[in-house]
Amino acid sequence: MVSHDILIVGGGLAGLAAALTADPKLNVAVLSKVHPIRSHSVAAQGGINAALANHPNAKDDTWEKHAFDTIKGSDYLADQDAAELMCQLAIPTMYELDHWGVPFSRFPGGVIAQRPFGGAGYPRTCYAADRTGQVLLHTLYEQCIRKNVTIYDEIVVTNIVVRDGRCVGLVAYDLATGEIRPFAAKAVIFGTGGYGRIYKLSTNAYINFGSGIGMAYRAGIPLKDLEFVQFHPTALYGKNILITEAARGEGGYLVNNKGRRFMEDYAPTAMELAPRDIVARSITTEILKGNGFENAYVHLDLRHLGREKIEKRLPGIQEICINFSGIDPADTPIPIQPAQHYSMGGIDVDKNCASLVKGFYAAGECACVSVHGANRLGGNSLLDAIVFGKIAGVSASKFINEGGFAGPRDAEITAEAKTLTDQFESIRKRDKGHNVYQLLNDLKILMGDKAGIFRDGKQLQEGLDGLSGLKEASRDSYIYGSCTRFCQEFVTLIEFKYMTDLAETILLGGLKRTETRGSHFRTDFPKRDDDNWLKHTLASYSDKGPVLSYREVNVDKYKPQERKY
């Protein structure tokens, strides 16, 4: 039995930020599926928002204006007090990151450089060329090493152990040894990221199956607003690699097969820098109208920016295009299409990152505070992860220091680990059944077809019907190999039940929400309905499927109005 005061699951920005702000007197450890600097946070490219007012066109920017842009971008589903908290803390957080050693790009005079991003009234996105997530993650990891934070990598957490309404530990699969291991803790923080890999077209890393969200769900913690799935407008066609919003922030054009900047038909003021939900739908509409190339993609044209600017501001994008598509964006337009990118919904937590289960906290993409509502603005995800990761570390520490932990439950955690070990052995003894990778591929196709950018009631119901067959088939999945070490089939099999849980919640929540709001576009209910649907969807686990309930949105200063861009 391994015991720590605080166990943090996830080695990305949310998890490492939590580790850095937890009480140093407590025994803190991070469990990560991969080495921390390979976490998905490293893939974030364009920047992180804060109203520093460094840009010449943003001298009067304030955190209040940042909060309004966030709330408006969310299509008014964000809890306004939470959005205000995030935007207010963004400014001191940026200076703290600067002092920790993040190598931000700079304006003359040495101040942190900022660029325009979609849905923002001011250029407030701080950046490090187009590798912002990478430098943030590396810096936070270095700080964790400096502070001697214990890190277990290549550990796949499989179960949360809850007794008497309190989280007392975890069960995990150790990839290197092939063993099922029990971990005891006084408090647990999840920073496990999103679920993008339940979709066929996704910019997410291959580790992003959403199992952390699914574990919390099965442990009795509600999920919030899972029907809101963000599709990034610009993924490299055929490869689904993210092409950062910074490419448009620096002045890139979206062009159809007629050579026309078509965004003037959909967002005539903001053009390419409208919120992501609007841009993604606009691109998809152009393709459906026959204005795409090969009826599959449109062009993102950077050629007019010039080679010097591209090589300075967007070197990562240039490298991706050359290596994966054989084109140089300084000479050739980039073929792009929308792809699943982010989950606005997640584990239901409050502003302190606390959940319904005592001692369990969550932050970052796996959590729903809610600051993103129905649509996240670019540049707010890295901010959300770091700000609320830090809050989670403080909250968990306070919980322990104020006597919230009720005492060790080692025997029960060990028993849970024994149950999973027996399950693993039982699966390994099977010599026939369904291939879990084929089931996963079928799930990805189903979600793309039935819960994509455009949805209707018929599609969503068909998705639910098809999902029930996949869940049934998964019960007799089996593992081909005999080796227990680094057995990715076992990882996928364990996580598949969580993936189907999330898919079911997305489909059912989307079916019941008979309106269009942010990323959730119902072609059969194309208008936003504030009278009936200005509320959060909560999904609680049961053996018969999600049990839905609803909660009012915290509407404080800003009354819902029509979004115009």
Sheet holding 125-126, edge to edge: 48-49, 125-126, 114-115
Q: Residues 131, 166, 248, 276: which is the catalytic one?
A: 276
CA atoms of 325 and 6, how far apart (whole Å): 44
Which residue(s) pair with 299 in the sheet? 255, 335
Q: Measured between alpha carbons, how far is 511 from 80 in angstroms, rounded to an integer?
A: 26
Per the document, the length of the chain is 565
Query: Is 276 noted as a catalytic residue in this protein?
Result: yes
Nearest one of 564, 529, 526, 563 to 285, comparing CA atoms: 526
Cα 540-542-545 angle, rounded to 5 deg = 90
Cα–Cα distances in angstroms (integers) from residue 93 to residues 82, 102, 267, in the given order:
16, 12, 32
Distance CA 367, CA 302 (A): 35
Between CA 313 and CA 321 the distance in angstroms is 15
CA dihedral (23, 27, 33, 34) positive or negative? positive
Residue 253 to residues 73, 247, 562: CA-CA distances in angstroms? 21, 9, 26
Q: What is the 3-state secondary structure (H, E, C) of 400-454?
A: HHCCCCCCCCHHHHHHHHHHHHHHHHHHHHCCCCECHHHHHHHHHHHHHHHCCCE
DSSP string, 278-315: HHHHHHHHHHHTT-SBTTTBEEEE-GGG-HHHHHHH-H
Distance CA(259)–CA(291), nearest Å, equals 10
Listing DSSP states for 123-167 in one string gives --EE-STT-HHHHHHHHHHHHHHHTT-EEEESEEEEEEEEETTEE
Peptide bond into 3 cis (omega under 30): no
- d(CA 464, CA 544) in angstroms, rounded, equals 13
CB distance 273 to 249 below 8 Å: yes
> Quick one: tokens of 43?
């893939």
Which two three-digit tokens encode residue 400? 């322990």
Catalytic positions, written as ranges: 276
